Structure 1
Amino acid sequence: MTATLADVAARAQVSPATVSRVLNGNYPVAAATRERVLRAVDELDYVLNGPASSLAAATSDLVGILVNDIADPFFGIMAGAAQAAIGEERGAREKLSVICNTGGSPERELTYLTLLQRQRAAAVIVTGGALEDPEHQAAVGAKLARLADAGTRIVLCGRPPLPGDSVTATLAFDNRGGGRRLTEHLIGLGHRRIGYIGGPTERTTTRHRLEGHRAAWTAAGLALDDLVVHGSYDRRSGYDGVLELLRRDPELTAVVAANDTVALGACAALRDRGLSVPEDVSVGGFVDLPFSADAVPALTTVRLPLYEVGVRAGRLALGLEGAPPGGLATVHGELMVRASTTPPRTGRPSRSSPRP
C-alpha cells in the first residue's frame, strides 16, 4: 500500500505539518527533526503525489550526482567532469546537476535516492565503490529500480554493476587488474617483503584492489606473505599503516597503498622513521591524482581516467551517448612507473624509531 504523509508523520513522531515543512523546505526545522523525517520518508518509500507537488513541473531538469566525499579528489574529479558535461548542453536538453554528498553514510545514500525519486530526477549518477552489505545493496537496487520505472536514467560511475536491468549504463573500474599490475611491477623489481595498506574493509573497491594484489603473488608462483592493514582512504591511514607494517616486519622493502593520498601518508611515515623512498622502501599508489606526478619522489601509481569517465557518465545521463554493449564498460587503469619504486637494496639497516 502506498505510504501517505500521515504515515510518515506517525513514523517520525511529528505532525503532518512538520513533514510538509521538511519536504517543501519552506520553513526552518531542527536538524535532528529533519533527519528523523527524512529517515521515515526513506523507510516508507514515500513519494509526493506528482499533480499535488509544485516541484513536479521542474523535476525533469534535475540530475543528481551521488558522491561519498566531495573533498576527496577521486570523487571531486568525476563529479566535476560529469557536471561540466551536463552543463554544456543548452536548450531542451539543459539540466540542473546537483552534488549529493553522502559522507560515506549508507542511510544518507538511500535518503538522497528517495529525494531524487520524489523530485522525479531526469538522471542519477552514482559514483565510487559500493558498500559490502547485501541488505544495503538490495535496498539501493530497489531504489534505483523505482527511479528507472519512473523514467530516470541511472548511470553507475566507477562502481560495480548491479543485477537487473534498471541501470542505463555502468562504467566500472578494473580495480583488480590495476592492483595486480602494480604488485607485479614490484615483484618484477625483486621485492618480496611487500606490505599492503588497504582501504575500509566494507567497500568493494578495497576488496577488488586487494584481490588483484594477491593474484600477482599467485601468478608469480610465490608464497603470499599477506602483510595487510586496513584504514580509511586518507593520509593518516597511510602514516599509521606504515608504522604498523614496520612493526610487523622491520625489513619491509615495499608498500602498496590503497590510493595516492594513503601513499603520501606512507611516505611521510617512512621519512619520519629515517627511511628514504625509494632507496630503503619503494611505495606505490592508486588513481594518479593530480599531485602524484609532482610529489617528491614522483609517485608510481595506477592511473584511472577519472575525468574522462566523469564526462562519459554525464553524457550517458543526458542520453547523448549510447550505452555500452550489455550496459557495462570496464575501464582499465594504466601503470605509471615513476621515481618512488626501484629494486630493493641489500643490507638496509633496520630503523624502527623516529629520527631524533
Structure 2
Amino acid sequence: MSTHLSPPVTIRDVAHAAGVHVSTVSRALNPDKRGMISEEVLRVVEEAAQRLGYRPNRAASALRTGRTHTIGVLVPDITNPVFPPILQGIEASAAARGYFVFVTNVMDHALARPVVERMLAQQVDGLVMAIATRDDPLVDYLQKAGMHTVLVNRADESGRLPAVVSDDRLAMKLAVDHLVACGHRRIAHLAGPQNVPTGVARRQGVEQALRDRGLELAAVVECESYSREAGRHAMEQLLAQHERPEAVVCCNDLVALGAYDLLRAQGLRVPQDISITGHNDMPLVDMVDPPLTTIRLPHRELGWRAAEMLFDEIEGKALSASTVVLRPELVVRESTRRVTP
C-alpha cells in the first residue's frame, strides 16, 4: 500500500485557521515583530499553528530577510568543563531571540579556517569564538569576510573584535596575594600555552603580583595545553629542573589536577609539602583530595554577554569593538596552607 506525504502546512493555512490576515501570522511567528500583535491574537495564531503542525520555512525566511536566525560557536575543547556553562549562557540568549546555535569543537587550530568557511557557507548570522590565538590570522579573515564575530574567554589583543573575558591578571593576583598572606615566598607557576592570550595574561599576572610584593617568580614551566596530562608533565619538569617551591600557581584547574597526580606519585603531599592553586573552579574540584583552592569565574555570564554583544552587532546596535571584562573571585579550600614561622 503506497503512502502519500501530506503537503506542508503553509502560513496561509495558519491564517485561514486562525481567521486573520497572512501578514498578521507572519508578525506573530516572528520573534522580532511579535510585540506588534496583541496577546489574544498571538494565542489564536499559536494555537492554530500548533494544531496544524506548522513548521516555519527557514530557507524562505532567510531569502526574505537576509538572516537565517542561526549563529555558530567555536570552542577549543568541548570536554573541558569550562565550556558547557559558557554554551548555556550563549544558548539562553539565543533562545530568547528565536535563534538556533551551531556548536563546533576545534581542538586543532589548523582546522579553524575550514570550519569557519563551512559556517559561512551555512550562512550563519554571526559567530562566537573561544578559540582565538595571539596574532590570529583568522581574525583578519573574519573582518574581511564581514562576518559579525564576538570573542569569548580569549580576547583579541589588538582590539579588532569585541570580546567578553574574565580579568586574568586580577585572577592571578588574587591567587598570589593569598599564597603570600599564607607565608609562602618561593612561588612557582605552571603557565598556560603562550600562543593563546589567556596563557600570556595569567603568566604576566603572576609575575606582576609577585613584583608588587617584592618577590621574584621561583620558576615557571609552560604547559603544552590546558589539560591534566600537560599539568602532570609540567609539574614533573618543575621538580626536576628547579628547587622545590613552597607553592605553585596553576594556570587552570585541570593543570592543577595533573600537578596533584605527579606530586602524589612522588610521595609529596598537598598542601603539607606544596600548596597548589587552580583557576576556573570547574565542577567537582571541591570534592578532590584535598579540595582545590581556585579562582571562580562567571562562565555562564561570559557566554550570555558574548551572545548579547553578537546580537547587538547583527542588529546594528554596536558602535565599535569593545571588550567586557568580568571580575573573578578567590575560593579558598584545603590545597593551600598557612606556613608556620
Asked if TM exceeds 0.5, the reply is yes
Indicate the residue corresponding to 1:131 in structure 2: 133
Correspondence for 1:270 among 247, 263, 285: 263
SS in 2 for 1:255: strand
Indicate the residue corresponding to 1:160 in structure 2: 155
- Per-residue deviation, 1:209: 0.3
Write out per-residue CA displacement over residues 137-165 of structure 1, whole angstroms, 9 at most, x where no aligned residue: 2x322222244x3xx53221112146476
Q: Is the 8 A contact 2:251 2:279 kept in 1?
A: yes
Q: Does 1:113 align with 2:106?
A: no
Structure 1 runs of 4+ aligned residues shifted over 4 Å read 53-56, 162-165, 320-326
Indicate the residue corresponding to 2:101 in structure 1: 97
Q: 1:173 to 1:323 in 2, by over 3 A?
A: farther
Q: Does 1:72 align with 2:73?
A: no
Write out per-residue CA displacement over residues 100-149 of structure 1, whole angstroms, 9 at most, x where no aligned residue: 211131x3222222222233321211125x323x3xx2x322222244x3
Q: Is the 8 A contact 2:279 2:296 kept in 1?
A: yes
Indicate the residue corresponding to 2:142 in structure 1: 144
Q: 1:322 to 1:253 in 2, by over 3 A?
A: farther
Indicate the residue corresponding to 1:41 in structure 2: none
Moved more, 72-81 or 205-214: 72-81
Identity %: 29
Q: Does 1:188 align with 2:181?
A: yes
- Per-residue deviation, 1:340: 0.8
Q: 1:324 to 1:297 in 2, by over 3 A?
A: farther
Q: 1:275 to 1:162 in 2, by over 3 A?
A: closer
Distance across 1 between alignment mates of 2:269 and 2:144:
54
Q: 1:267 to 1:344 in 2, by over 3 A?
A: farther
Q: 1:104 to 1:81 in 2, by over 3 A?
A: farther
Distance across 2 between alignment mates of 1:257 and 1:187:
15
- Per-residue deviation, 1:170: 1.7
With structure 2 as the length reference, what TM-score do the two structures score? Answer: 0.73
Aligned letter for 2:111?
R
Matches within 5 A, 1:274-293: 274-293=267-286
Write out per-residue CA displacement over residues 153-181 of structure 1, whole angstroms, 9 at most, x where no aligned residue: 3221112146476x4x4212211221122
Indicate the residue corresponding to 1:333 in structure 2: 328
Matches within 5 A, 1:1-356: 57=63, 60-87=68-95, 89=96, 93-105=97-109, 107-128=110-131, 130-132=132-134, 134=135, 137=136, 139-147=137-145, 149=146, 152-161=147-156, 163=158, 167=161, 169-249=162-242, 251-319=244-312, 327-344=322-339
Indicate the residue corresponding to 1:20 in structure 2: none
Distance across 1 between alignment mates of 2:93 and 2:62:
24
Aligned letter for 1:145?
Q
How well do the aligned residues superpose, as a CA RMSD in angstroms? 2.8
Q: 1:125 to 1:179 in 2, by over 3 A?
A: same
Write out per-residue CA displacement over residues 220-268 of structure 1, whole angstroms, 9 at most, x where no aligned residue: 1123323434332111122222222222345422111110011111112
- Of structures 1 and 2, the larger Rg is shown by 2
Aligned letter for 1:103?
M
With structure 1 as the length reference, what TM-score do the two structures score? Answer: 0.70
Distance across 1 between alignment mates of 2:317 and 2:274:
46
Aligned letter for 2:307?
G
- Per-residue deviation, 1:60: 1.8
Unpaired stretches in structure 2, ≥5 consecutive residues: 1-58
SS in 1 for 2:189: strand
Q: 1:86 to 1:272 in 2, by over 3 A?
A: same
Aligned letter for 1:212?
G
